[in-house]
Amino acid sequence: MPKKINLTVNAKRYDIDIDEAFAPFLLKQMENDFNVNGNNDLKLLLQAYVQKSYALYQDEQKILSLLEKIPKE
């Protein structure tokens, strides 16, 4: 069953339907990155996007490094 979360950006409220199992994780992340009870400007949204993209990049680099260490048969 989808769960609805919302975020206000530039005084406009956005409702987002997400998987119920994913909701607690996303809400925790959003609380770290945004003002979940108030307005957020576009600059903050862009900063959060870049930070999350960089974290994904770092994770990918770690995975690739680990894959290189696995012996090939």
- Summarize pLDDT for 3-24 with one digit per residue, the tens: 999 999 999 999 999 999 999 9
Per-residue pLDDT at 73: 77
pTM above 0.75, yes or no: yes
Host domain of residue 33: 2-69
Per-residue pLDDT at 1: 81
- Summarize pLDDT for 20-68 with one digit per residue, the tens: 999 999 999 999 999 999 999 999 999 999 999 999 999 999 999 999 9
CB atoms within 10 A of CB 14: 9
Indicate the number of domains in the chain.
1
Among 44, 53, 60, 50, which Cα is nearest to 9's? 44
